[in-house]
Structure 1
Amino acid sequence: MALSYNDHYHPLLLKQVPYGARTVLDVGCGTGRFARLLARQGLDVEAVDADADVIEAARAAGGGPRYRQADVRQAQLPDSHYDFISCIASLHHVPFDTVLTLRKALAPGGVLAVLGLYPIRTATDLAWALPALSLLRANQLLERRRPGPSVQAPIAWPPPLTYAETRAESARLLPGSTLRRLLFWRYLLIYRA
C-alpha cells in the first residue's frame, strides 16, 4: 500500500477530539479510513464526500460510520450539532469560506480540525517540503513494485491558498483559531466553538 501523508497525521487529529465528544462529521472522508478510526473510539460518525466512487469504497469497507455522498456546501448540516468536525486534505477542493458552514454546525465547545495543504511558493515552504520530497521520491520507487488501492480520492494540486493566505483567512473567518505548519506541505487548523 502506498504511503499516505494524510494517514500519518491521524494520531494527531484524534488528539483534537474534545473530551466527551459524541457526534462527529468527517468532511471529504474519501475511502473512510479516518472515519472508521473515529467510529472505533465509540463516536457517532457521519462521513461525507462528493465523489461517488470513494463513498462506495468506504461503504464496502464498513466499520460503523454512516457514509453519504454529498457536497458539504449543499449538505444542509444541522446547526450546533457536531462535537468534532474533521477535514483531511479536503478543504482545498471547495472555497475556503466553507469553514463558515462547518463553524455553524459545531456544537458549543466543539472542535473543527482541518488537515490542509498549501502550495510551495516561498523559501520557508521549500524548507518544510524538502524532507517530504525525499520521502515522496522513495515512495514512488516502492510503488512501482506493488499495486496501489483500486479506488483513490481525487487529487487537487496545487491548493489555491498559500500558507500565509490560509493564516489570514482563518483569522478572519474563524477568530481564535490556530494554524500550525506541518511536514508534507500540510497544516493543522484548529477552531474551538
Structure 2
Amino acid sequence: MPFNHNDHYHRLLLRHLPKTCRTALDVGCGTGRFARRLAGRGIDVHAVDPSAKALAHARAGAGETADGSPPPRFEHADVTRLQLPAGHYEFISCLASLHHMPFETVTALRKALAPGGVLVVLGCYPEKSAADWAWSLAAVPVNAVARLAVAVAEGRRPPGAGPVQAPIAPPEVPLSRIRRDAAALLPGCRIRRLLFWRYLLVFRADGRPSGG
C-alpha cells in the first residue's frame, strides 16, 4: 500500500475545527476515514461521495467512532447536484476531492456554511511552475521513506487485509489559477502549499482572515 498523503494531513485539518462544532459536511468522503474522525468528536457528519464502491466500504466501517458517537451519515451522491441547506454546516471538508469537480463548487459550499463556519480544502495540483517542481523534488525522498515505513507495517497484516481505495483522477488546474479563483469566490481565504503535492485552503464564513 502506498503512503496515504491525505491521511497524513488529518490532524492539520482538524486544527481548523470550530471549538463548538456540531455539524459537518465531508465532500468526497471516499472510504470515510476522515468522516469517522469527525464523528468521533461528537459531530453530526454528513459524508457524500459519488463512488458506490468506496461508500460501501465506508458504511462497513461506520461503527469505528469514539464510544457513544453516532456514525457519519453516508450519502451516495454528486455534491454538485445536491441542494445543500443554506447556512447549516459549521465545518466543511474536501480531501483531495475538489479537483474532481468544477472549482466553482466552492460557491455552493460557502453558502452552506453556518455563520462562523470553516471550509477546509486539502487540494491537489499539477506541476506547472518552477516552484511546483522544486516542492515536488523535495517531497520525493520524504515520500520514499514514508512508503518504506508503510510497506513494513503492511507486511505484518494478514493476507487480504488491504484497504479499498477511492477512485482518483489527476489534477489539471495549476495552483496559480486556484489562488486566483479562490480569491474571487472565497474572499479572505488563505492558501498555502504543503509537501506531498497538496495545498491547504481555509475559508471562514465570518469575514475574518483565515489562519494557516
Residue segments in structure 1 that go unaligned for 5+ positions in a row: none
- For the pair 1:17 / 2:30, whether they are aligned, the reply is no
Provide the C-alpha distance between the structure 2 equivalents of 1:133 and 1:164, rounded to a whole number of angstroms.
22
Provide the C-alpha distance between the structure 2 equivalents of 1:37 and 1:80, rounded to a whole number of angstroms.
23
TM-score (normalizing by structure 2): 0.85
**Residue 166 (structure 2) aligns with:** 153
Letter in 2 for 1:153: A
Out of 181, 188, 193, the position equivalent to 1:169 is: 181
Deviations 1:51-103 (A, max 9, x none): 00000000001131110111001121111000000000000000000001101
Deviation at 1:134, TM superposition (A): 2.6
Out of 111, 124, 130, the position equivalent to 1:123 is: 130
Provide the C-alpha distance between the structure 1 equivalents of 2:178 and 2:162, rounded to a whole number of angstroms.
31
Residues 49 and 70, structure 1, Cα contact 8 Å, conserved in 2:
yes
- For the pair 1:41 / 2:48, whether they are aligned, the reply is no
Count how many residue pairs are aligned between Structure 1 and Structure 2: 192
3-state SS, counterpart of residue 96 of structure 1 = coil
Identity %: 56
**Residue 68 (structure 1) aligns with:** 75
Deviations 1:100-145 (A, max 9, x none): 1101110010000000011111111111112322344452897598
Letter in 2 for 1:169: D
Provide the C-alpha distance between the structure 2 equivalents of 1:7 and 1:62, rounded to a whole number of angstroms.
17
Map of 1:57-96 to 2, 5 A cutoff?
Answer: 57-63=57-63, 64-96=71-103
Residue 150 to residue 41, structure 1, CA distance change in 2 (3 Å): closer
Structure 1's consecutive aligned runs of 4 or more residues displaced over 2 angstroms after TM superposition are: 131-150
**Residue 55 (structure 1) aligns with:** 55
Deviation at 1:23, TM superposition (A): 0.2
TM-score (normalizing by structure 1): 0.93
Letter in 2 for 1:29: C
